């Protein structure tokens, strides 16, 4: 076990105001069961799950209510015991609609029968991957990529490095920070399980240096682990937690354009996901809950709340005492990459890392100006893109040139738009360009 | 616990549903322009000290002229006024700084019209102009009114280093050029006293360019406020230094030493405030370096072999014209893409 400072410096990046103090000291609080849980079938990246229950069915906690539709998909489980009240499309945090199952809790919170694997060390890695797939685990840090897919690299791509991402570089969010403080041992064991699955020699736990207590906690938890184990201290800065940037900071290798971390022999798992893997393997529990940071200056008592998947945003807010001031913007996730919400009738998913309320004075409503070529976006872009130029191409609907100058490599981190003095909608342009090009590609194929 | 009113969030209140990011650095164009104006204050004070009323007269004429023309153009095109971004004020000050003290007010106004109407608004306003508007204004005046633009009044310099007679009725660069053309020799040796005069601003020249000290102070402010990066000015000034040092080393009897070239003419004003104009210079750091080097080479070529004694304006305008080219040629290698020179295809 060693603690080291990251040697490789990521390009660009920004230093937004972090405001982590609002919730960092708040221990994780369990929210009581709400009156309704609306569980979306689109919890993850990839194909939405197929519902396997009908209206009127009674379900137990952990029972499959949606099965994975294909390899890149993940199963969905009932977050508590109760009755299925409805099956209807509902809006998700991204604004898209997806089928959702409404469950009225019966208050018993009775689990289905669970198969535990306390002695996972003797279990076959393939079986462990199956457990991860069956328990519906997906990346809980951001995009929600199904974890079992990441854990089944093809044989020609051996994995030598497992990185546990505890950077939590998004401002305001403290859920991962709390997990590392309160569940360091379990995260360490989860990391050991994943490491075994992958056969990864190196284990790196990457944490930003603004969380010294989490660094200490993880160091203690990993003390007796054998082999090449490191707690990697990252300089605080956004986006240190972005997958490609984190891999570079940890091992100095760039994930090739269009490629995956496994192409450089690495897999990154978020600390929340790692804990879910531990819970799934050791306790046999499917993923039915997560910790969400409910925060922002207008919130009465900001905190880190463990709630069931499918909890209404409005219930989460009520649990935190409601708001004390005017709210201009509600964001699912963090301020840099999260999604603005126009309603609180949306429910949490496996990827809801935060629910952020912004006061009017924190929301700048600027009309965008023409680009003044200041070059700040260029300096800020961690992918070495020229956002100003790409944005102008997209505006001119010249998608070919945009593709040529690598719009598809954009990770939508938002650093460029954060810096732009002309307040140009750079990320909006990037997203527009990417989806346009991807659509064209699919059309060509199909 | 203090009683606080608990409100529920009304769904209708959440109207601002914009794309991420939902945080911003807080910078905007107006603040950048304000910082540039602040950075120009030391040079303006020096100009007032040495040129008195003329400095005030020209600065106000150009600023008012530029702002008025900007407002009129925007109005004529049916767009919002767009003067709040203060860019026209900056153009006005820079144009005035590039004029000799004796030029009549009306000419300054003509320059303003060209700077804003022709060089900026015709192209679509801020962000779209390929050439630095203030420099276009200056060059138009230089071509239209060559006499007025090169008439340097004979005056006594109340310099801080004692009263020094302005022995000359020309700028140091002009003097060198005429002397070399007429007699083939250098007009004077460049001693420490002259150097100090040129550093503080006790010399002849356009009202805003004379004091290297004041301009450097402004440059330091811009760097501190992150309004500019060091690349353009450093490479520009550095190139002039190297170029002139080589000429001087090869033939010291026909070339002024490098420290003369650094302090003379509009180099400091150009390198710190004009070549760094965001709109008309490259966006990449490498591009800024290339731009600076190009400006430096062209400035020295014009100073040495050109018809005009000073080459800063033309050099920057010429480089402006290839800015899009530089941008294209200096795009950084994108993360995860192979380096161009080492084709490591498997
Ligand atoms: S262009 Fe994309 S990757 Fe680069 S800063 Fe902007 S959002 Fe981030
Ligand atoms: S930050 Fe904005 S204004 Fe500056 S170059 Fe980029 S897009 Fe243009």
Which of A384, A385, A421, A425 most suits a substitution to test ligand 2, by most atoms within 8 Å of the C-beta?
A421
Tell me, yes or no, whether A54 lies in a domain. Answer: no
* Contact status of B163 with chain A (Cβ, < 8 Å): no
Does the predicted interface ipTM exceed a cut of 0.95?
no
Asked if A323 and A427 sit in the same domain, the reply is: no
Asked if A332 and A400 sit in the same domain, the reply is: no
Tell me, yes or no, whether A390 lies in a domain. Answer: yes
Asked if A262 and A334 sit in the same domain, the reply is: yes
Distance B10 CA to ligand 2 centre (A): 35
Which pLDDT value is given to residue A361? 86
Instruction: Pick the atom of ligand 1 nearest to A411's CA.
Output: 3
Phi and psi for A89 in degrees, rounded to 5? -65, 140
Q: Is A75 helix (H, G, I), strand (E, B) or coil?
A: coil
Tell me, yes or no, whether A400 lies in a domain. Answer: yes
Q: Considering only residues 107 to 126 of chain B, which have any Cβ-Cβ distance to chain A shorter than 8 Å?
A: 124-126
Distance A425 CA to ligand 2 centre (A): 10
**Length, in residues, of chain B:** 346
Burial per residue of B312-336, b for 16 or more beta-carbon CB atoms within 10 angstroms, e otherwise: bbbbbbbbbeebeebbeebbbebbb
The reported pTM is 0.91
Of the residues A364, A398, A413, the one at which a domain ends: A364
Q: Tell me the pLDDT tens digit for each residue of B167-184.
A: 446 788 888 888 888 888
Does A375 sit within 8 Å of B19, measured CB to CB? no
Tell me, yes or no, whether A240 lies in a domain. Answer: yes
Asked if A272 and A381 sit in the same domain, the reply is: no
Asked if A268 and A236 sit in the same domain, the reply is: yes
Q: Write the residue in B8, B22, B288 that is nearest to A322 by C-beta.
A: B8
CATH number of the CATH domain containing A237:
3.40.50.11540
Burial class for B251, CB neighbours closer than 10 Å (0-12, 13-18, 19+): exposed
Which pLDDT value is given to residue B3? 36
Asked if A208 and A248 sit in the same domain, the reply is: yes
Does B16 sit within 8 Å of A337, measured CB to CB? no
Of the residues A339, A364, A389, the one at which a domain ends: A364
CA angle A97, A101, A103 (to 5 degrees): 140
Asked if A358 and A382 sit in the same domain, the reply is: no
| DSSP per-residue letters across A114-175 | ----TTGGGS-HHHHHHHHHHTT-B-SSSS--BHHHHT---TTS---EEEEEE---STT--H
Distance A227 CA to ligand 1 centre (A): 37
Asked if A194 and A264 sit in the same domain, the reply is: yes
A325 → chain B, closest CA residue: B7
Asked if A390 and A336 sit in the same domain, the reply is: no
Q: Considering only residues 296 to 325 of chain A, which have any Cβ-Cβ distance to chain B shorter than 8 Å?
A: 300, 314, 317, 321-325
Asked if A360 and A394 sit in the same domain, the reply is: no
Distance B108 CA to ligand 2 centre (A): 32
User: Chain B residues with CB inside 8 Å of A337's CB?
Assistant: 20-21
Asked if A341 and A427 sit in the same domain, the reply is: no
Q: Tell me the pLDDT tens digit for each residue of B12-21.
A: 455 566 788 9
CA distance B284 to chain A (A): 6
Asked if A272 and A294 sit in the same domain, the reply is: yes
Residues 6+ apart with CB under 8 A from B249: none
Domain residues for the domain of A391 are 376-445
Which of A385, A423, A424, A429 most suits a substitution to test ligand 2, by most atoms within 8 Å of the C-beta?
A424
Query: Please, what are the averages of pLDDT over each run of 10 residues along chain A (446 residues)?
Result: 87 94 94 96 88 94 93 93 94 89 95 90 92 94 88 93 96 96 96 95 95 96 93 94 95 94 95 96 96 96 96 96 91 94 92 94 82 96 96 94 95 96 94 93 82
**Count: domains in chain A:** 2
Could you say which residues of chain B have pLDDT below 50?
A: 1-8, 11-12, 158-168, 342-346
Tell me, yes or no, whether A274 lies in a domain. Answer: yes
Of the residues A311, A342, A364, the one at which a domain ends: A364
Q: Is B328 left (phi over 0), alpha (psi -120 to 50) or beta?
A: alpha
Which pLDDT value is given to residue B10? 52
Domain ranges of chain B: 29-149, 209-326
Instruction: Pick the atom of ligand 1 nearest to A12's CA.
Output: 5
């Amino acid at each position: 076990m060693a603690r080291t400072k990251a040697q490789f410096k990521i390009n660009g990046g920004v230093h937004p105001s972090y405001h982590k103090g609002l919730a960092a000291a708040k221990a994780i609080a369990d929210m009581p069961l709400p009156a309704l849980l609306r569980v979306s079938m689109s919890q993850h990246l990839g194909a939405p799950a197929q519902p396997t229950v009908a209206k009127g069915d009674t379900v137990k906690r952990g029972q499959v209510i949606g099965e994975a539709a294909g390899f890149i998909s993940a199963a969905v489980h009932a977050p508590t015991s109760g009755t299925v009240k409805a099956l209807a499309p509902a809006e998700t945090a991204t604004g898209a609609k997806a089928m959702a199952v409404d469950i009225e809790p019966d208050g018993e919170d009775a689990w289905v029968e669970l198969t535990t694997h306390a002695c996972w060390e003797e279990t076959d890695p393939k079986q462990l991957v199956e457990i991860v797939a069956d328990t519906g685990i997906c990346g809980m840090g951001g995009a929600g990529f199904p974890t079992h897919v990441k854990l089944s690299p093809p044989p020609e791509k051996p994995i030598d490095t497992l990185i546990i991402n505890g950077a939590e570089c998004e401002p305001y969010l403290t859920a991962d920070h709390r997990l590392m403080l309160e569940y360091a041992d379990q995260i360490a064991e989860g990391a050991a399980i994943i490491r075994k699955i992958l056969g990864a020699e190196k284990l790196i736990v990457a944490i930003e240096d603004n969380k010294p207590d989490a660094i200490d906690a993880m160091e203690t938890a990993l003390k007796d682990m054998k082999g090449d184990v490191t707690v990697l201290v990252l300089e605080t800065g956004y986006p240190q937690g972005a997958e490609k940037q984190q891999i570079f900071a940890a091992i100095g290798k760039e994930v090739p354009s269009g490629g995956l971390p496994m192409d450089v022999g690495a897999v990154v798992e978020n600390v929340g996901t790692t804990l879910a893997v531990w819970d799934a393997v050791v306790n046999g529990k499917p993923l039915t809950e997560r910790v969400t940071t409910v925060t922002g200056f207008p919130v009465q008592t900001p905190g880190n709340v463990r709630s069931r998947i499918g909890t209404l945003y409005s219930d989460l807010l009520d649990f935190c005492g409601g708001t004390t001031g005017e709210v201009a913007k509600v964001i699912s996730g963090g301020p840099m990459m999260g999604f603005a919400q126009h309603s609180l009738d949306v429910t949490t998913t496996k990827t809801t890392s935060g629910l952020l309320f912004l006061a009017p004075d924190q929301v700048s409503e600027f009309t965008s100006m023409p680009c003044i070529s200041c070059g700040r976006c260029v300096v800020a872009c961690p992918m070495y893109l020229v956002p100003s130029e790409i944005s102008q191409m997209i505006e001119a609907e010249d998608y070919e040139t945009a593709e040529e100058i690598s719009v598809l490599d954009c990770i939508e981190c938002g650093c460029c738009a954060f810096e732009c003095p002309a307040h140009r909608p750079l990320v909006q342009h990037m997203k527009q360009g990417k989806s346009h090009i991807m659509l064209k590609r699919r059309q060509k194929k199909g | 616990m203090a009683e606080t009113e608990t409100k529920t969030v009304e769904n209708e209140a959440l109207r601002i549903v914009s794309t991420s990011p939902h945080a911003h650095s807080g910078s905007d164009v107006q603040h950048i322009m304000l910082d540039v104006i602040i950075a120009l204050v030391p040079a303006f004070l020096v100009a007032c000290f040495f040129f008195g009323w003329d400095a005030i007269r020209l600065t106000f004429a150009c600023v008012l002229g530029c702002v008025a023309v900007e407002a009129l153009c925007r109005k004529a095109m049916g767009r919002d006024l767009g003067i709040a971004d203060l860019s026209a004020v900056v153009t006005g000050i820079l144009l005035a700084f590039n004029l000799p003290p004796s030029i009549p007010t009306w000419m300054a106004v003509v320059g303003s019209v060209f700077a804003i109407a022709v060089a900026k608004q015709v192209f679509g306003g801020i962000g779209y102009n390929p050439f630095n508007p203030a420099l276009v204004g200056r060059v138009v005046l230089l071509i239209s009114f060559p006499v007025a633009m090169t008439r340097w009044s004979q005056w006594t310099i109340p310099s801080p280093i004692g009263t020094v007679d302005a022995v000359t009725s020309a700028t140091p660069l002009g003097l060198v050029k005429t002397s070399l053309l007429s007699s083939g020799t250098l007009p004077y040796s460049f001693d420490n006293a002259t150097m100090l005069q040129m550093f503080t601003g006790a010399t002849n020249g356009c009202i805003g360019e004379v004091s290297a000290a004041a301009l450097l102070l402004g440059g330091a402010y811009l760097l501190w406020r992150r309004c500019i990066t060091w690349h353009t000015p450093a490479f520009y000034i550095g190139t002039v230094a190297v170029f002139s040092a080589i000429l001087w080393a090869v033939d010291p009897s026909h070339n002024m030493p490098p420290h003369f070239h650094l302090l003379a003419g509009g180099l400091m004003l150009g390198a710190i405030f004009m070549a760094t104009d965001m709109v008309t210079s490259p966006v990449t750091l490498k591009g800024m370096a290339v731009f600076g080097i190009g400006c430096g080479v062209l400035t020295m070529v014009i100073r040495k072999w050109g018809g005009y004694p000073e080459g800063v304006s033309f050099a920057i305008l010429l480089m402006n014209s290839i800015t899009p080219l530089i941008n294209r040629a200096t795009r950084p290698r994108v993360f995860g893409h192979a380096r161009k020179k080492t084709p490591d295809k498997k």
